[in-house]
Structure 1
């Protein structure tokens, strides 16, 4: 896998792996399952299935399904939180 630093959400493809910062400065990593906008949010978001730690959902946001993943392995991440990405 070749690492790169994405400059815009358009640089990210589904199934790419991303590393991103979370609350408290913690870094997490997972596979991208969704790229786009969420209702009421101006930033672009990534739907990510986490590799190791627990997330918050299985791909739903405010009752709407945006992607599917294992229960409690999904998170939505603002694009500006992405630190690095890898193409599979």
Structure 2
């Protein structure tokens, strides 16, 4: 059982976001809001891009959509790196 536990921890650590985000980096925010009358499967769950304003601790960040918008305090599990769409 101990060997299997170590194997699961190793697998988890590979996917865990240990590096975090830098101030000024663009990120997507996971916000699964539901709209009445629409299928949840077809609704967008990711918002953004947001800019990382500050890192409050290892797992909590303050983000902002634009300079005039309110800042949001979110956990790192709700963030993913933003990638520019390919130019055509």
> TM-score with structure 1 length normalisation?
0.50
Computed over aligned residues only, the root mean square deviation of the Cα atoms, in angstroms, reads 2.8
Q: Which structure has the larger Rg over C-alpha atoms? A: 2
Gaps (5+ residues) in structure 1?
A: 1-5, 38-42, 52-68
Higher helix fraction: Structure 1 or Structure 2?
2
Shift of 1:23: 4.2
Q: How many residues align?
A: 58
Distance 1:83 1:14 in 2: 14
Residue 24 of structure 2 corresponds to residue 15 of structure 1: yes
Contact 1:28/1:50 (CA < 8 Å) preserved in 2?
Answer: no
Gaps (5+ residues) in structure 2?
A: 1-15, 34-43, 84-88
Q: Which has the higher contact order (CA 8 A, sep 6+)?
A: 1
Aligned pair partner of 1:36 in 46, 56, 63: 56
Q: How does 1:1-88 map to 2 (within 5 A)?
A: 7-8=17-18, 10-24=19-33, 26-29=45-48, 30-37=50-57, 44-51=59-66, 69-70=67-68, 72-85=69-82
Q: Deviations over 1:28-71 (max 9, x none)?
A: 2211001123xxxxx721111114xxxxxxxxxxxxxxxxx53x
> TM-score with structure 2 length normalisation?
0.50
